[in-house]
Structure 1
Amino acid sequence: MKKLLLLASWLPLMAVAQDKGMHFEHGTTWAEVKAKAKTENKYIFVDCYTTWCGPCKYMSANIFPQESVGNFMNAKYVNVKVQMDQTDKDGEDVKKWYADAKQIEKDYSIRAYPTFLIFAPNGEIVDRQIGGADADRFIERCAASLEPSKQYYPQLAKYQGGQKDTAFLRKLAYLAMEKYDNANANLVAKDYLSQQKDLYTPVNIEFVSRFTQSSKDPGFDMFLHHADKVNKVLGAGKAEAKVLAIAANEEVYPRLRTKDNTAPDWAGIEKDVKAKYPGIAEELMLKSKVQYYVFAKDANNAVTSIVAYMKKYGHKADPQALNEYAWTIFEKCNDAKCIEEALEWSKRSFKDNEIPAFMDTYANLLYKAGKKADALAWEEKAMNKAEGDEKKNYESTLEKMKKGEKYWD
C-alpha cells in the first residue's frame, strides 16, 4: 500500500516534468495538424525521424523535453512527429501516417535524419533544418525559421520566379546545399557559374570546390588540369586530393564489390585508371588497396599495402590517415621494422594537435615495440587529456601495460 501511495504522489510530478518539454500532436492526421495550425495561427514543426537514427533519438530524449525548448516551441508551433521508416513494431498511430510520410519524403526530398520541416500557418512549406543541435542552437534555428528573410523556400521561389543576380545565386546555392536540397543546389550553382567570366578568383574557386562532386561537374577540369591555380587558394595538394577522391568513387570503388565475393581485378582496374588518369594512377591504386584490405580484414595484404603507400606517398597523409594506418600496424603487424615505421607516422599524427586517441595509438605502438616506460608515459598523457568512456578505456590500457599483459593478437 505504501508503494502505491508513493507512486500516486509521484504521478503529478511526472506529469509536470513531461509538460515542460515540447508538446507533440498524437492520434491525429496531417490534415488535422494543418487545420489546427491555421486556426491557432501557428507555424508547424515536423520532426521527420526514423527508428534507427541515433541523432533522432538524442533529440527526443535530451532536447525536446527541456523546459526552455518547450516554452518556445509550444508558443510558436504546432509540433508533430512523423516516422519515415516502417517496422513490424509500429502501432496504429504510426501506421495511419504511412501514406503521408511517403508523400512528405517525396515532396521534400528527405535524404538525411533528422530533418525538421517548417510550414507556415497556411500550410505552405517555408523552411527545413537538417541534423540535431543542443537546446540553445535548436531554439535559435527554429526562431530563424519564423523570419521570412531567413526561410529557405521563399528564397527558392524567388529564384524560380526569375531572380538571377550573382550575389543572390551564390548565397542561395550555399543555402540549398546546407539544407540538403542537392538537386536545386546544383541547378543554382550551374546558373551562377554560367555568369562568371573568371572562374579562378578566390571566391569562385571556393565555390567550385564545394560544388564539384563528380567528373561531370564543371569544376572538375579546373582541379584536374589547373591544380596550381586552385592550390594557391585552397592550399597545397587540395586540387589533387579532390581529383583523387572523385576518381576513386567513379573508377575504383564500384569495381571492388564483386557479385561472387571474388578478389577485385586489380590489374584491369589499374589499366583503366592509367588510361584515364595517368598522373594519379599509382597513388590511387595504392590508396585503394589500403582501404579495401583494411575493410576486408585481410591483415597481411593490409599491412603490405599500407607500407607500400606510406613509402611513396606518406608525405601526403593527413593526421587522421596517419593514425588509422599506425593503429592497423599495431593490431596486425608483429615485425619490428614495421612497428618502428608506424611509430614515426603516429608521432606525426599529433605533432600539431595532441588528440588523445592519436596519443593512445602512439603509446600502444611503443608498448608493442618493448619501450614500456615511454608507453606508460604517453598513455598517461592520453588518459589525462581524455574524458568519459574514452578516459576509462585508456585507464584500462594503462593497467594492462603496467602488468605487462599482451592484449593484441
Structure 2
Amino acid sequence: MIQETLRKGFVLGAGLLLSISSFAQKGIAFETGTFAQVLEKSKQTGKPIFMDAYTTWCGPCKAMARSVFTNDTVAAYYNKNFVCYKSDMEKGEGLDLAKKYEVRAYPNLLYISAEGNILHRVAGFRNASDFVKLGQTALNPDARFEAIKKQYEAASNEAAKASAYMLALADAALPYEKVSENYFNSITETEFTTPSNWEIIKNLEENLNSKVFQYFIKNRDKYASLYGKESVEKRINQVYLQALERTVERTPEAYDKLFAEYSALNLAKDKETDMTLIQLELVVLKHKQNWAKYDEVASNLVSKYISKNAYALNSIAWDAYEHISDAKVMAKAEQWAASSCKISPEYANLDTYACILFKNGKSALAKKTAQEAIAKGKKAGEDTAETEALLAKINDKLKVKK
C-alpha cells in the first residue's frame, strides 16, 4: 500500500513536473546569451535565426510578445524552424545590433543566416497568421528580402524589379528614395507614363523634388487622361500633405511657401485631405500664437470632422488650456474636453478635463474629475504624478474658499 501510494505520488509528481515544463515553454522559446552564441547555435542546428528587435517603450512590440509569440501555432512553427532570439535595441549588445542591421522602427522582425547576413526583414506588428506566413517567406530563397535585393541589383532598370525592392525596403522601414532616383534616372522621360511606372509613382514615390515627381506634376493632365483625374490628384494631394506635415513642425517659415505652391495647383480635395489641411493650419497658428484665429479654425474642425474623435478633441482642448485665457474660448475647450471624456473616459482625457475645469473656476467638479483620472491612470499603469499635483492645488483652492 505504501509502495503503491509512493508510486502514485511519483506519477503525480512527474505529471506536475511535465505540466510546469510545458507551461514554462509556452510560446516561442527565445534563446538567452549573446548574439555570438546564437549564431553558433544556428550553425550547429542548420536553422536560420529569427530576431525580435524591440524596445521597452514600443506598444506593438509588447502586443506581439503578449499575443503573438505566445500563440501555439506560432510557437510550434518558429521553434521548429528557427533559432529564436530577442534583443532590446537600446541596451547593451542591442545598440550594436541596431547599427549593424539598420533598425529604424519597432518591432523589427529580422531573419538572419548563421553567418549573420539578413535573409528577410519587416517592421511593424504582425498578427499570428501573418507572422507564420512571414516565417514561411523567410525560408523561401526565391521570395525573401535577400532574393528581391539580388534580383533588383541584377536588373535595376526594370520597373518590376525596382518596384519590388522599393516595396521590400518600405516594409522594412528602410529608405528607398535612392533606389527610385537611380531607377528613373536609368530610363527616358517618355517611359515615365507607362502603367508599371505609374504604379511606382502612385504607391511609392514621395519626394516632391525628384525628377519623376516634378515631371508628374507638370504633366498631370497627361497622366489624368491615362489613369483618371481623381487618382492623379489624390496622389499629388498625398505627397504634398506628407511634405507639409514634415515641414510644419521643423521649419514653419518654409511651410507658407510650400503651402502657396500646393494651393496654386488648385486640386480637388476629399474630406480626409480637407481635415488634414485644417489640422495643419492649427499647428501653424499655434506656432504663430494666433489664438483668436486658432479658436475659429478649431471650432470649424470640431463641427466638420472630429466631434466624435476623443483623441482629436482632447488634443485641441489641451492646446487651448495651455495657451488661451479668453473665457469664451475656454468655455468651448471645456465642452471639447467633456465630449472627449464622454466618448472615451480614459486617463489622458480626464486629466485634460480636470485641468480645464480648474482653470475655468469649477474646482468642485475639477476635484471629482481629477480623482477619477488618477484612479483610471493607476489602474492602467500610467504615471499620475502631474494629476496628483493638480489635485493638491484644487484642494488648496477649496480650503481657501471655506
Q: Same fold (TM over 0.5)?
A: yes
Describe the shift of the 1:46–1:214 C-alpha distance in structure 2 as closer, same or farther (beyond 3 A).
same
Q: Is residue 2:193 matched to residue 1:189?
A: no
- What is the CA-CA distance between 1:134 and the residue it aligns to? 1.7
- What is the CA-CA distance between 1:201 and the residue it aligns to? 3.5
Confirm or deny: 8 A CA contact 1:48 1:81 kept in the other structure.
yes
Partner of 1:400: none
Q: Is residue 2:66 matched to residue 1:61?
A: yes
Describe the shift of the 1:165–1:292 C-alpha distance in structure 2 as closer, same or farther (beyond 3 A).
closer
- What is the CA-CA distance between 1:181 and the residue it aligns to? 2.2
- What is the CA-CA distance between 1:205 and the residue it aligns to? 2.5
Confirm or deny: 8 A CA contact 2:108 2:172 kept in the other structure.
no
Q: 3-state SS of the aligned residue for 1:116?
A: strand
Describe the shift of the 1:274–1:49 C-alpha distance in structure 2 as closer, same or farther (beyond 3 A).
closer
Confirm or deny: 8 A CA contact 2:29 2:84 kept in the other structure.
yes
* Cα shift readout 1:32-90 (whole Å, capped 9, x = no counterpart): 1111111111110011000000111111111112221111111111111110113xxxx
Partner of 1:254: 250
Partner of 1:30: 35
Partner of 2:76: 71
Partner of 2:142: 149
Confirm or deny: 8 A CA contact 1:293 1:301 kept in the other structure.
yes
Distance 2:102 2:255 in 1: 35
Confirm or deny: 8 A CA contact 2:109 2:122 kept in the other structure.
yes
- What is the CA-CA distance between 1:144 and the residue it aligns to? 1.2
Q: Is residue 2:78 matched to residue 1:113?
A: no
- What is the CA-CA distance between 1:22 and the residue it aligns to? 0.8
Confirm or deny: 8 A CA contact 1:173 1:188 kept in the other structure.
yes
Describe the shift of the 1:252–1:54 C-alpha distance in structure 2 as closer, same or farther (beyond 3 A).
closer
Confirm or deny: 8 A CA contact 1:117 1:129 kept in the other structure.
yes
Distance 1:112 1:324 in 2: 27
Distance 1:285 1:143 in 2: 42
1:303 to 286, 295, 298: 295
Return the letter of the residue paired with 1:104: L
Confirm or deny: 8 A CA contact 1:46 1:118 kept in the other structure.
yes
- The count of residues paired between Structure 1 and Structure 2 equals 305
Distance 1:253 1:299 in 2: 17
Matches of residues 332-343 of structure 1 in structure 2 within 5 Å? Answer: none
* Cα shift readout 1:121-179 (whole Å, capped 9, x = no counterpart): 44332111211222121111111110001111233134345664332222222222222
Return the letter of the residue paired with 2:119: V
Q: Is residue 2:231 matched to residue 1:235?
A: yes
Distance 2:293 2:38 in 1: 58
Q: Is residue 2:172 matched to residue 1:167?
A: no
Q: 3-state SS of the aligned residue for 1:48?
A: strand
Distance 2:288 2:20 in 1: 50
Distance 1:170 1:135 in 2: 27
Return the letter of the residue paired with 2:83: V
What's the % identity of the aligned pairs? 23
Partner of 1:279: 264
Describe the shift of the 1:25–1:246 C-alpha distance in structure 2 as closer, same or farther (beyond 3 A).
closer
Describe the shift of the 1:247–1:170 C-alpha distance in structure 2 as closer, same or farther (beyond 3 A).
closer
Distance 1:323 1:229 in 2: 39
- What is the CA-CA distance between 1:219 and the residue it aligns to? 3.4
Distance 1:192 1:320 in 2: 41
1:15 to 2, 13, 21: 21
Confirm or deny: 8 A CA contact 1:223 1:243 kept in the other structure.
no
Q: TM-score, normalised by structure 1?
A: 0.60
Partner of 1:212: 205
Confirm or deny: 8 A CA contact 2:52 2:87 kept in the other structure.
yes
Partner of 1:199: 192
Partner of 2:88: 83
Confirm or deny: 8 A CA contact 1:224 1:243 kept in the other structure.
no
Describe the shift of the 1:223–1:139 C-alpha distance in structure 2 as closer, same or farther (beyond 3 A).
same
Describe the shift of the 1:321–1:77 C-alpha distance in structure 2 as closer, same or farther (beyond 3 A).
farther
Describe the shift of the 1:63–1:285 C-alpha distance in structure 2 as closer, same or farther (beyond 3 A).
closer
Partner of 2:122: 129
Distance 1:168 1:327 in 2: 44
CA RMSD for the aligned pairs? 4.5
Confirm or deny: 8 A CA contact 1:20 1:71 kept in the other structure.
no
Return the letter of the residue paired with 1:188: V
Distance 1:17 1:25 in 2: 17
Any gaps of 5 or more consecutive residues in structure 1? Answer: 1-7, 87-94, 257-264, 343-356, 358-409
Q: Which moved more, 1:169-178 or 1:290-299?
A: 290-299
Partner of 2:269: none
Distance 1:31 1:325 in 2: 45
Q: Which moved more, 1:43-52 or 1:155-164?
A: 155-164
